[in-house]
Amino acid sequence: MINYKLLDDSLIHYENKGFKRIEAPWTVSQYVDNITRPEDRVPFELKHNDKRLVASGEQSFLYLYLKEFLPLGQFQTITPCYRYESFDYLHTKYFMKNELIKTDVVNKVELDRMIVTALEFFYRFFPKTDLDTVKTEEGYDITVNGIELGSYGIRGCEFLEWIYGTGCAEPRTSKLIQLYGISR
């Protein structure tokens, strides 16, 4: 079950770290969807308006930048994420996620800063010894006991370069708290 209080706690945490909360669209154009969607993944298409349901708030941010509705800066938004994935205890075809983006200063130092900020949020729920930052093909994952809590990296397209990251994904985070979290 999605823990909306946990998502709200993440909004407060990241807002206190300088990430401005915005409302973002839950549908984007095919062009924007294709920027971050792996080629082997099937999009969630809406037939009536040729839009696609977002796989991440990252796509929502890109859509706003492309339309010139969002200035450079660092922002957060909560959107549903629609993905064709296997269904198991930690994976579903849709979930809620607080997504982070930074576009005003994009470099490795700022990426590291975003990862530290995310770790600070996750330290509230997991023993520090159980959390790790792992290098991936696209960037980094924060994991708890080897299971991904969030992904972080730098990307670019013809109109923007940005740092992206997971603020909090639900219900995955609350399920992992149940399995590995600190007793309260």
Confidence label for 63 from pLDDT (cuts 50, 70 and 90): very high
Task: Tell me the pLDDT tens digit for each residue of 17-55.
Answer: 999 999 999 999 989 888 887 677 766 677 778 898 998
Place of tokens 């407060």: 12
Q: Is 130 helix (H, G, I), strand (E, B) or coil?
A: helix
pTM: 0.91
For position 89, what pLDDT does the model report? 65
For position 36, what pLDDT does the model report? 81
**Cβ–Cβ contacts within 10 Å for residue 105, how many?**
12
How many Å apart are CA 184 and CA 173, to the nearest integer?
16
DSSP class of 68: T
Q: What percent of the chain has pLDDT over 70?
A: 92
For position 183, what pLDDT does the model report? 64
